[in-house]
């Protein structure tokens, strides 16, 4: 799994599948159900930490078959854009400004896929995916494909609130018409801010912790004196303390040890228990 995750760590998975479309995915789910094999939707492997013992079961990546991005409705005020779950969020952001559509600028620089962004209700710069979402396309555990309006789903901070067995196949986004160059300029400014504050030169999974009401998690970790602290080749970034980076040969156990250290130290000094934003799966 180290080859399939942005952290570049993690043990082996029993099975790895790349369905080309909904029918493929349905067949995979049916076979796994018949064989009693658990399944896991991998996405692009960002915002994810796989333990060193790997994953028992089937990891399913939508990154090779669910890549469509297109305008499905177009009007003078804006457009409805369909984006499938396997496409990168960056490609969707690029598509929007090239079409002269505004609303997704906040997502510039957020790693991962459209499906992952929906799953996490990804957000930054005072914007979230739910703010521009019109509807989401889902596959139920039975293989049934359905579309749900944004109003029919409960969104939370960094969570879409999926029901058990549901798989995100894509979404439709309501975007406003605007001058494409103006949209691009805002995207470039957001990217400049990100590049100046966040580590892009080493493998990571983005923000490790959710920001609590008391303030940014990175600021709390830095004030606890842990910025730059490392265990093995895993390090709390010297650039942004809510990022843990892999300096080369880190193992998942090193990253997990840093996570627990940060949580305990911040709790001891600030009385705040940090909640994880990244997903941790697999066996020790």
Give the residue numbers marked as catalytic: 158, 207, 277
DSSP notation for 227-273: TT-EETTEEE-SS-TT-EEE-SS--HHHHHHHHHHHHHHHHHHHS--
What is the chain's alpha carbon radius of gyration, rounded to the nearest angstrom? 19
What six digits make up the tokens of 247? 């300096």
Taking the alpha carbons of 214, 200, 51, 268 in that order, is the dihedral positive or negative?
Answer: negative
Distance of CA 90 to the CA centre of its chain: 12
Secondary structure of 194-228 as H, E, C letters: HHHHCCCCCCECCCCECCCCCCCHHHHHHHCCCCC
Taking the alpha carbons of 44, 49, 52, 57 in that order, is the dihedral positive or negative?
Answer: negative
What six digits make up the tokens of 118? 């929906």
């Amino acid at each position: 799994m180290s080859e399939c995750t942005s952290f570049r760590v993690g043990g082996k998975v029993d099975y790895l599948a790349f369905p080309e479309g909904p029918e493929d995915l349905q067949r995979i789910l049916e076979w796994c159900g018949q064989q009693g094999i658990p399944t896991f939707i991998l996405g692009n492997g960002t915002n994810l930490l796989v333990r060193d013992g790997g994953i028992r079961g089937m990891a399913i990546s939508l990154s090779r078959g669910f890549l469509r991005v297109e305008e499905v409705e177009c009007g003078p005020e804006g457009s409805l854009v369909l984006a499938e779950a396997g496409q990168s969020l960056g490609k969707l952001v690029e598509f929007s400004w090239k079409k002269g559509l505004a609303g997704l600028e906040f997502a510039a620089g957020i790693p991962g896929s459209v499906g992952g962004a929906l799953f996490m209700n990804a957000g930054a710069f005072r914007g979230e995916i739910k703010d521009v979402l019109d509807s989401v396309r889902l596959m139920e555990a039975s293989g049934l494909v359905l579309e749900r309006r944004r109003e029919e789903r409960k969104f939370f901070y960094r969570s879409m609130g999926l029901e058990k067995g549901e798989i995100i196949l894509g979404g439709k986004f309501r975007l406003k018409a605007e001058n494409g160059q103006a949209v691009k300029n805002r995207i470039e400014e957001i990217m400049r801010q990100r590049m100046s504050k966040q580590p892009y030169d080493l493998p990571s999974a983005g923000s490790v912790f959710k920001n609590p009401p008391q303030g940014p998690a990175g600021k709390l970790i830095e004030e606890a004196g842990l910025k730059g602290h490392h265990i093995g080749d895993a390090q709390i970034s010297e650039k942004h303390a809510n990022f843990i980076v892999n300096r080369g040969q880190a193992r998942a156990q090193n990253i997990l040890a840093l996570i627990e250290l940060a949580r305990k130290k911040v709790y001891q000094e600030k009385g705040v228990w940090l909640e994880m934003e990244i997903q941790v799966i697999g066996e020790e």
